Amino acid sequence: MADTMQFDLVSPERRLASVQAREVRIPGAEGDLTAMPGHAPLITTLRPGILRIVKEDGSNDDYAVTGGFAQITGSGTTLLAEEALHVSEMTLEIVRGFVERAEETLRKAREAGEHHLVDDAAKLLADMVAMGDHIGISPN
């Protein structure tokens, strides 16, 4: 079994990472997971959170992702993010923008009276706030 796998992180705007990785910690919609070389094939949706890449040399690289999909194969992992930024690029204004958009989604769901959408929107808002808190940028 190989010690590393190919990992690619892509957003609509750009390719953010293309590296050999020991592991990738993914904020999955159904729970966090770690992809490693030889992982069983899997496709999962993402929730807002921090993606951690453990590179070949053992160093970490963290990215804030707002959602998307991850495809894990035996030879590598590809993550297609709705939005993604390296944590060093995150600012209070960006986190507040994520939170404001989530609050607007929650407001619209409540106005529509769609209880299942309200639950999803409330979870989205909580995940956005938690993501900011995790990287030390509280939106409040």
Local confidence pLDDT in tens for the 140 residues of the chain: 469 999 999 999 999 999 999 999 999 999 999 999 999 999 999 999 999 999 999 999 999 999 999 999 988 999 999 999 999 999 999 999 999 999 999 999 999 888 888 988 889 889 999 999 989 988 77
Helix spans in the chain (H): 92-112, 115-134
Give the 3-state secondary structure of residue 122: helix
Do 100 and 78 fall into the same domain? no
Do 40 and 109 fall into the same domain? no
In a domain, 49, yes or no: yes
- Domain extent, residue 41, equals 5-87
In a domain, 26, yes or no: yes
In a domain, 19, yes or no: yes
Do 81 and 108 fall into the same domain? no
In a domain, 140, yes or no: no
Do 53 and 27 fall into the same domain? yes
Q: What is d(CA 77, CA 37) in angstroms, rounded to the nearest whole number? A: 9
Do 25 and 69 fall into the same domain? yes
Q: What is d(CA 15, CA 10) in angstroms, rounded to the nearest whole number? A: 4
The model's pTM is: 0.89
88's tokens: 């060093």
Do 77 and 115 fall into the same domain? no
Going by their DSSP bridges, the two strands 5-10 and 76-81 should be labelled as parallel
* Tally of domains within the chain: 2
